[in-house]
Amino acid sequence: MSNSAIGSGLVLLGLVFAAFAAVAGLYTGLTRREGALPWVQRAVYAFGVSLIASNVWMVKSLLEHDFSVKYVAQVGSRSTPTIYTIVSLWSSLEGSILFWGGVMGIYLIAFTFIHRKEHGRYMQLSLGMMSIVAAFFAFLIASPADPWIAVPAAADGPGPNPLLQNNPLMIIHPPMLYMGFVGMTVPFGIATGALLRGEIGDAWMGPLRRWTLVPWLFLTIGIILGSWWAYAVLGWGGFWAWDPVENASFMPWLASTAFMHSTMVTERKKSLKLWTLALALGAFLLTILGTFMTRSGIFNSVHAFGTSDVGKTFFLFFFLPMSAFCLFLLAVRGPMLEAESRVESLMSREGAIFFNNLFFAGITFVVLIGTTFPMVVEALQNRRLSVGEPYFNTTALPFALCILFLMGVGPMLPWGAADARTVQRQLIVPGIGALLGVGLSLLFGYPGAMPLATFACAGFVTVITLRELVLPAQSRMAEQKESPWAAMVRSASRTPRRFGGYIVHLGVVVICVAIGAYAGYKQQVSATVKAGQTVSVGKYQVRFDGLDSGREPHREWVGANVTVISPGGKEVKHHGVNSPRLNYYPTQNRPIESPLVHEMLHGDVYVSLIAFDNAAGTATFNAYVFPLVGWIWYSIPFFVFGTLIALWPRRKAALARAATVPGAAAAPGSPS
């Protein structure tokens, strides 16, 4: 049997099992037939195994160079290195949808297994809603985005997009984004299952929050790695251009981040319930909108997959119906989500979170408008336009600065009304931190109003965050006579969500400082030089040591050997494959740049080769110095470590809360 037949058969099996799980889960859940749960679970397991197996079979076909499979013929090549042959699974439209289905299978298997002993009707409804999403993607893979179509076998193929072969980050960046995008299906299923069931108690919020936190982490890592890839591969010296596809990943991140903050008010003060669930549903819908944007061909982007009918299918037959369904659920079940208390004072922690959510909503709105406006114009007037960086920087960055400031204000304030004099006293030390941030930045020159405000807020937030991390440990050291390490570990274990959240906040501060330094202090020079001549950029010199060239199985390249000379006179050579290069691929008319990134903890020297003249022995460079830019990607451990701590189980405490909270009795089997 051919690879096409096996792979296609596995997808069709997955479609049948997902459709059965969707129909059976919703029907038996709504009719209270909880004995059917094992059948729904088995169908979900079968769907997951089928789609995972189809992905594995596609990798096998790629490695075998089976060009009788349509997708292999599109992206395969005998000259492509093995690792990029595997990576080509998600390098083009049909393969990316297949990979999406495989990731969906992993999530649904994990959710079903972890909550296999939960209340039947809850699980049936949640799995039924998740299976609707799974069935839709299986349908896409089986029909409009079928990668398994049999074609006449060719001798060789073109290989994957050259941009995807230029840097190892493409090995992990797309899977992280997919784990983030696809993972939003699980909280969507939990939230819609709760709304369908009509029994919405506090016990639902824990699993909903945790299953949002998991894809949020992957989405965070994916976005940061994507900015690193753009910086290290595209050669323009930037890491974020408000590209429509970048925005497509950023918007669900904003919505899910706002959701996780809003859950604190919902759980603590029993308010913002409708808003919190709306954010959970909105994060999922924004992932579907983003998927449409990357696969519709409407946007011209290095991240997009090109023109396809898949985008229209997404929009007309999934995004619009799902949006209408979510609005209907919120409208019908809204009366059940009335707040049990109100925000007593804006000068309180819940008040700060309320404003935090408003600013998150503001950023999401302006990014959504700026991203979708060209799409609307094209649909109505049949002309293409783009909204550039000035719009986004002008509208979104002030909101972001306000959120950064509130990251310090919120933890400083108590739940409920705050005493004004107490707040004033607590502001003294963080205020000094803000002044130190301003003072340190001014030592290196005036960076501009926005970077200066960023450094001030960063100093303010850092002091408050460190204080909140250390104070519980200090109390234990004084009361329990524990060592600093033991006190810190035990205080973290008692409140892992709080402790992990503050570590994540430190990661955000690191990113903001790095972006502020990049924007305020970057330096650039362009020059054409001969061998032996140097280019000065900031306090560094870049010496051109002559042209070089090379050939690899899948490309040829021309590089400019350079030496970076530091202010102290230390020389670091970047020759051969480590030099700034222009890469020539057989399938591309234009060369693709590979810039030199001379990385240091305090900043990078960045050199792009723009042009060269073999006869004259000259090279034209763009050379930059970017202070602290690497800390954007070095912040990833803060997010990983903080999220893992926040996810650390506290089973006894969770069970105790579930037994006492209102609504838990109505849903005794809700996961904890």
Cα of 294 vs its chain's centroid, Å: 15
Count of the separate structural domains present in the chain: 4
Condensed to tens digits (0 to 9), the pLDDT of residues 2-11 reads 999 999 999 9
Please give the full DSSP string across 467-533, using - where no structure is assigned: HHHHHHHHHHHHHH---HHHHHHHHHHHSHHHHHHHHHHHHHHHHHHHHHHHHHH-EEEEEEEETT-
Query: 385 pLDDT band (50/70/90 cuts)?
Result: confident
Which residues neighbour 410 within 8 Å (Cβ) at sequence distance 6 or greater?
A: 349, 352, 353, 356
Q: What gap in Å lies between CA 622 and CA 597, rounded to an integer?
A: 12
Instruction: Give the residue with greater pLDDT, 343 vs 90.
Output: 90
Query: 67 pLDDT band (50/70/90 cuts)?
Result: very high
Instruction: Give the residue with greater pLDDT, 180 vs 294.
Output: 180
Of 511, 537, 565, at which residue does a domain stop? Answer: 511
E strand or H helix at 611, and its extent?
Answer: strand 603-613
Q: What percent of the chain has a predicted confidence (pLDDT) above 90? A: 62
Do 217 and 72 fall within a single domain?
A: no
Please, what's the b/e burial string for 105-117 (b: 16 or more CB within 10 A of its CB; e: otherwise)? bbbbbebbeebee
Helix, strand, or coil (residue 608): strand
Q: Note whether residue 152 is domain-resident.
A: yes
Is residue 520 within 8 Å of residue 441, measured between CB atoms? yes
Q: Which of 221-235, 333-347, 378-392 has the lowest mean pLDDT?
A: 333-347
Do 411 and 436 fall within a single domain?
A: no
Cα distances (angstroms) measured from residue 465 to each of 263, 404, 419, 437: 20, 12, 20, 15
Query: 133 pLDDT band (50/70/90 cuts)?
Result: very high
pLDDT (0 to 100) of residue 302: 47
Is the pLDDT assigned to residue 297 strictly greater than 60? no
Do 377 and 234 fall within a single domain?
A: yes
Do 245 and 385 fall within a single domain?
A: yes
Pairing of strands 592-594, 581-584: antiparallel
Of 417, 445, 473, at which residue does a domain stop? Answer: 417
Q: For tokens 């919190």, what's the residue? A: 276
Query: 296 pLDDT band (50/70/90 cuts)?
Result: low
Compute the average pLDDT of residues 306-334.
Answer: 84
Q: Note whether residue 502 is domain-resident.
A: yes
Provide the mean pLDDT of the chain.
Answer: 88
pLDDT (0 to 100) of residue 480: 83
Q: What gap in Å lies between CA 617 and CA 597, rounded to an integer?
A: 23
Do 10 and 41 fall within a single domain?
A: yes
Instruction: Give the residue with greater pLDDT, 563 vs 423.
Output: 563
- As given in the structure block, the two tokens for residue 403 are 């959120």
Do 198 and 244 fall within a single domain?
A: yes
Q: Which of 87-96, 157-166, 482-491 has the lowest mean pLDDT?
A: 157-166
Do 278 and 424 fall within a single domain?
A: no
Query: 376 pLDDT band (50/70/90 cuts)?
Result: confident
Query: 660 pLDDT band (50/70/90 cuts)?
Result: very low
pLDDT (0 to 100) of residue 662: 33
Enclosing domain of residue 574:
523-628
User: What pTM, to 2 d.p., does this model score?
Assistant: 0.92
Of 417, 434, 463, at which residue does a domain stop? Answer: 417
Do 395 and 472 fall within a single domain?
A: no
pLDDT (0 to 100) of residue 670: 37
Q: What gap in Å lies between CA 24 and CA 666, rounded to an integer?
A: 23
Is residue 387 within 8 Å of residue 367, measured between CB atoms? no
> How many other C-beta atoms are found inside a 10 Å radius of the C-beta of residue 47?
31
Is the pLDDT assigned to residue 672 strictly greater than 50? no
Which among 259-268, 505-514, 612-621 has the top mean pLDDT? 505-514
E strand or H helix at 596, and its extent?
Answer: strand 596-600
Compute the average pLDDT of residues 429-458.
Answer: 92
Do 491 and 549 fall within a single domain?
A: no
Q: Which of 72-76, 169-173, 603-607 has the lowest mean pLDDT?
A: 169-173
Is the pLDDT assigned to residue 139 strictly greater than 60? yes
Q: Note whether residue 664 is domain-resident.
A: no
> How many other C-beta atoms are found inside a 10 Å radius of the C-beta of residue 468?
17
Do 226 and 333 fall within a single domain?
A: yes
Helix, strand, or coil (residue 538): coil
Q: Note whether residue 669 is domain-resident.
A: no
Q: Which of 64-68, 248-252, 305-309, 635-639 has the lowest mean pLDDT?
A: 305-309
- As given in the structure block, the two tokens for residue 477 are 């050291």
Q: What percent of the chain has a predicted confidence (pLDDT) above 70? A: 93
Compute the average pLDDT of residues 260-284.
Answer: 89
Q: Note whether residue 658 is domain-resident.
A: no
Q: Note whether residue 647 is domain-resident.
A: no
Do 123 and 254 fall within a single domain?
A: no
Q: Note whether residue 537 is domain-resident.
A: yes
Compute the average pLDDT of residues 593-610.
Answer: 93
Q: Note whether residue 266 is domain-resident.
A: yes
Q: What is the CATH number of the domain that holds 136?
A: 1.20.120
E strand or H helix at 26, and its extent?
Answer: helix 3-30
Do 411 and 443 fall within a single domain?
A: no
Is the pLDDT assigned to residue 422 strictly greater than 60? yes
pLDDT (0 to 100) of residue 664: 35
> How many other C-beta atoms are found inside a 10 Å radius of the C-beta of residue 618?
18
> How many other C-beta atoms are found inside a 10 Å radius of the C-beta of residue 242?
19
Q: What gap in Å lies between CA 162 and CA 374, rounded to an integer?
A: 28
- As given in the structure block, the two tokens for residue 449 are 């109003």
Compute the average pLDDT of residues 440-445.
Answer: 89
Q: What gap in Å lies between CA 127 and CA 133, rounded to an integer?
A: 10
Type of residue numbered 397: L
Is the pLDDT assigned to residue 482 strictly greater than 90? no
